[in-house]
Amino acid sequence: MANFLFLHLLLLTTSLSLTYISGQKVAPPPPPSTATTPPLPRPAQEFLDAHNKARAEVGVGPLTWSPMLAKETSLLVRYQRDKQNCSFANLTSGKYGGNQLWASGMAVTPRMAVDNWVAEKKFYNYANNSCVGGDKCGVYTQVVWKKSMELGCAQASCSKESATLTICFYNPPGNVIGEKPY
């Protein structure tokens, strides 16, 4: 009986000290952070939200905003604006995935541009991973491409043509032949 009590106490002590040790291991609450990431510019957040909504609808995780990609698209839309009359950029040799939208006669918000790309969703057939009826849907599949992790976009307008060019880059690029987007 005495032995049993001793054992019991020992176990109790052991478990208490274990509790104590694990209590010690709990990290103290972090000090109030002064290094919070600044909020994204509004257009960036709008581009991101519109993409991530379309991705969530098919169970694909969100993109994050890449200042580097945003800078690349910004340089490109400005080049197209200043030298190419706001016409489509040639994205065929780029190392990123790219979507672009040209629109005339109306202001194009980031959300409108992305919604326009996502509208191709109706032409995408997941079962055989192709676009139905000879329509295009590669712009949509890039939006929801699961392995694309980063996004950067920019817009420019040519007032003379009342045209707006929107370009987004995706990294890594999507639309890999023979792969499904998700």
Q: Is 90 in the site for ligand NAG (CB under 6 A)?
A: yes
Spatial neighbors of 136 by CB under 8 A, at least 6 apart, are: 120, 123
* Nearer residue to ligand NAG within complex by CB, 98 or 114: 98
CA distance 139 to 117: 6
Tokens of 95: 């190392």
User: x/- string (CB under 6 A) for ligand NAG, residues 151-180?
Assistant: ----------x-x-----------------
Q: Are 145 and 62 in contact (CB under 8 A)?
A: no
The single residue among 67, 85, 94, 172 that binds ligand NAG, judged by CB under 6 A, is 85
From the list 48-56, 65-73, 126-134, 139-147, the region that binds ligand NAG by CB under 6 A is 126-134
* Gyration radius of the chain over CA positions: 26
Give the residue from 130, 103, 133 showing the smallest Cα distance to 115. Answer: 103
The single residue among 13, 14, 45, 125 that binds ligand NAG, judged by CB under 6 A, is 125
Q: Is 93 in the site for ligand NAG (CB under 6 A)?
A: yes
How many residues interact with ligand NAG (rule CB under 6 A)?
11
Q: Is 3 in the site for ligand NAG (CB under 6 A)?
A: no
* Nearer residue to ligand NAG within complex by CB, 57 or 82: 82
How far is the CA of 46 from the CAs of 27, 84, 152, in angstroms? 36, 26, 11
Maximum distance among all Cα pairs of the chain, rounded to whole angstroms = 98
Q: How far is the CB of 169 from ligand NAG (least distance, A)?
A: 16
Helix and strand totals (H; E) in the chain: 5, 6
Q: Is 18 in the site for ligand NAG (CB under 6 A)?
A: no
The single residue among 13, 132, 135, 180 that binds ligand NAG, judged by CB under 6 A, is 132
The single residue among 92, 134, 177, 178 that binds ligand NAG, judged by CB under 6 A, is 92
Spatial neighbors of 168 by CB under 8 A, at least 6 apart, are: 47, 51, 73, 98, 99, 100, 113, 114, 151, 152, 153
Q: Please give the residue ranges that form the binding site for ligand NAG (CB under 6 A).
A: 85, 90, 92-93, 125, 127-128, 130, 132, 161, 163
